[in-house]
């Protein structure tokens, strides 16, 4: 394979890498529905640590999938939302939701709590 020649599998691997991470899909699913403040996201995702949420949001922002808006006020207010580019994933997120609604109950249950203990 010559330099710069990528197969579709290579391209899909790059796409999967954007959303791989313990919490990224859950973050994207939440942000698909509305804009969240940092604390709201942390409360909405049982088991995620502040450090991990920060790291995952920074990666998503660096990849152009999430935008971060800082409001100049005291205390600081920061909001996260998906970008127009990430809105293109909407049909995929909706398809995954529909698939889960149809098949989720037939799959074995796994513990949902990961990371820190929810409060």
Phi–psi pair at 86, nearest 5 degrees: -70, -25
Tell whether the model's pLDDT for residue 117 goes beyond 70.
no
Region 58-87: mean pLDDT is: 94
Give helix then strand counts, H and E, for the chain.
6, 3
- The DSSP H or E segment spanning 67 is strand 66-71
Domains (range + CATH), the chain: 17-104 (1.10.10.10)
pLDDT (tens digit per residue) in 24-58: 999 999 999 999 999 999 999 999 999 999 999 99
Q: How is residue 104 annotated by DSSP? A: G
Length of the chain in terms of residues written: 119
């Amino acid at each position: 394979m010559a330099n710069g020649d990528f197969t579709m599998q290579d391209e899909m691997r790059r796409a999967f890498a954007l959303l791989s991470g313990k919490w990224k899909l859950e973050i994207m699913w939440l942000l698909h529905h509305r804009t969240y403040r940092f604390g709201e996201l942390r409360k909405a995702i049982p088991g995620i640590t502040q450090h991990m949420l920060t790291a995952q949001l920074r990666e998503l922002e660096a990849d152009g999938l999430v935008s971060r808006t800082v409001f100049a006020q005291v205390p600081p207010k920061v909001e996260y939302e998906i970008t127009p580019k990430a809105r293109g994933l909407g049909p995929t997120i909706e398809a995954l939701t529909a698939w889960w609604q149809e098949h989720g109950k037939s799959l074995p249950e796994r513990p949902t709590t990961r990371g820190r203990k929810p409060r």
